[in-house]
Amino acid sequence: MAMPHIGWKSVGFAIPALLLALGAADAATPYFRRAPSDLNASILQIDEKAVLGRSMDADTALIDHTGRTFLWRDMFGKPTILVLAYYTCDGSCAVVNMALLDLLKQAKRLQPGADFNVITLSFDRHDTLETTGAFRKHLDLTRELAASWTFATFRNEADLATQTEKIGFKFFWSPADRIFLHPGAYLFFSPEGKLARVLYQQEIEGKDIELAVLDSRQGQFAPREVINFALSLCYSYNYQDGHYSLNMPLFIGFGALASGLTTFLVCILVFKITRRKRLIGA
């Protein structure tokens, strides 16, 4: 049987038609399209001014990486740095915790365990002792930090939502990205468990960690801690920049006071010298 003859003119019309059909099929098949991301940038910041002074319930039950149950109140008595994360995270959570590890190594004046507590707490109800332990092992902590850094989960799923909400920490699952979206923050609590400061990993240095710890002590210093007290006065938190900077108004005030006292003392000295000369001349 003879094959039908297909002219070049027919081919010329067929190719555009085929491409058009493929394009229409692609448009009609959502499988080949990536769904729009659910990213909501507003949740990546904690409204610090609105939540400062808040606290989680003291009797909130937590489970550490060994399976031991303890209460949030067990962290009281000294400042606490809290990192909220989830242990199956394949990126940002590890980065935030590794960054804190490096920052703590830079902080020489204060020591974890002795001067403050550190705890990483999961907000994912699916995390287990296995995922907690694996995440902790991945950080490769020094011996000193391993002894003073707690990794834990909420024992009760209901507390997970209520307690994180109390301190302004928002998170949600993004189906398109297949990750939790959440702030990458360090939350500093006072010895009484009240939120005192929020810092973000991208914006700080080791000194900011120390200053935030000192700040969270809210003026409670022993007499032997004169240097730490003076250091806390010399720096103030800058909400716009997100880190600590020299307290310029304080330095200006001290400078004005010192200048005034110097002028006063010089005036007294000049007065005494002038008066002595007059007495000698008389």
**pLDDT per position as a tens digit, 11-43:** 444 444 444 444 444 444 343 343 444 555 566
69 touches 80 (CB < 8 A): no
Q: Report if pTM > 0.75.
A: no
> Where do we find the tokens 């990546």?
44
For residues 210 and 219, give the distance between their C-alpha atoms in angstroms, rounded to a whole number: 14
For residues 85 and 88, give the distance between their C-alpha atoms in angstroms, rounded to a whole number: 9
Confidence of residue 178 (pLDDT cuts 50, 70, 90): confident
What residues does each domain of the chain span?
41-243
> If one looks up domain 41-243 in CATH, what number appears?
3.40.30.10
**pLDDT per position as a tens digit, 117-176:** 999 999 999 999 999 999 999 999 988 899 999 999 999 999 999 999 999 999 988 888
